[in-house]
Each structure stands twice: as structure tokens, then as C-alpha cells.
Amino acid sequence: MSAATLYGLCAALLAALGLYGFVVQPHPLRKIVAFNVFGGGVFVVFGVAARRGAAAGFAADPVPHAMVITGIVVAFVSTALAVALLLRLHAETGRASLRLDEPGADERGDGA
């Protein structure tokens, strides 16, 4: 088994774990952590693409590295925004779950 294949399997495992956690965990903070695990898996996929040298024809194609750096920055910003929203929600309501977010629950009579 080549190193690239091993990394590829590792990426698949991380992405699957992260996606599973994202779907089944009800708590937003756990979802955010799962999102980062999923993200880790996706970034390793780019690493594998680089190692296999898709476009350049030689090992260690630099383009996926450039893309992964951008991807990491985007994931970091997303995480920061999500955590900030969650902290604000906790500060306002004392809870950190998405249970009370029925559309306009605080101002509407009947449910839908």
C-alpha cells in the first residue's frame, strides 16, 4: 500500500467520522467540532491530490497546497463565526441548544 493510498483512506475515515458526528450530534458545539473533523478529512484529500501530482505530472503538485491554505482560512473563519453566534445565544438565553428556535417562538401563537 502506497503512502498516498494510506493517506486517502485516512482522509475518508476522518471525513466520514466528521459527517456522521455533524448529522447525529444535536448540540451545536459538538456540531462545530464535528465540522472541523470533517474539514480535516477534506484537507487531507487535497494533500493526497498533491502527493499524486494530478496536474503537474510529478509528485508534490503545489496547487492543492495553495487551495488547502485558503480552505483552512475559510474553515477557521466559519468556526469563529459559529462559536461567536453560539456564545451570544448562550449569553442571551442561558442555553446553548437550538431547541428554542421554532420560527418566531417568542411571538407567535400557533405552531406550524
Partner 1 sequence: MTPASGGTADAWLLVLAVIAPAACVPLALALGERGARWLALALAPAGVALAAAITAAVWRRGDALVYVLGGWAPPLGIALRADGLSAAMLLTTAVVIGAAALYARADLDPGRGAPESRASFLFWPLLLTTWAGLNAVFVGSDLFHLFVALELLTFGAVPLVCLDGRPATIAAALRYLLFALAGSLLYLLGTGLLYGVYGTLDVVLLAERVRVEPTARIAAALMTAGLLAKVALFPLHLWLPPAHAGAPPAASAVLSALVVKGSFVLIVRLWLDALPGLATPAAAQLLAALGAAAIVFGSVLALRQARLKLLVAYSTVAQVGYLFLAFPLASATQLGSAAWTGGILQAVSHAVAKAAMFLSAGLIAKALGHDRIDGLAGVGRALPKTLFAFGLAGLSLMGLPPSGGFMAKWLLLRAAIDGGQWWWALVILAGGMFTGGYVFRVVARALASTGEPPTLRSPVPRHLEALVLALALLSVAIGLLPFASFGLLQIGRPS
Binding residue count for partner 1, defined by CB under 8 A: 50
**Binding to partner 1 (CB under 8 A): which residues in 67-86?**
67, 70-71, 74-75, 77-78, 81-82, 85-86
Identity (one letter) of the amino acid at 47? Answer: G
**Helix, strand, coil in percent for the chain, rounding step 5:** 70, 0, 30
C-alpha distance from residue 5 to each of 2, 39, 47, 76 (Å): 5, 19, 11, 27
> According to CB under 8 A, which one of 17, 54, 59, 65 is a site residue for partner 1?
54
Question: 92: how many CB neighbours lie within 10 A of its CB?
Answer: 8
Which residues of the chain form contacts with partner 1 (CB under 8 A)? 15, 19, 22, 28, 31-32, 35, 38-39, 41-42, 45-46, 48-49, 52, 54-56, 61, 63-64, 67, 70-71, 74-75, 77-78, 81-82, 85-86, 88-89, 92-93, 98, 100-110, 112
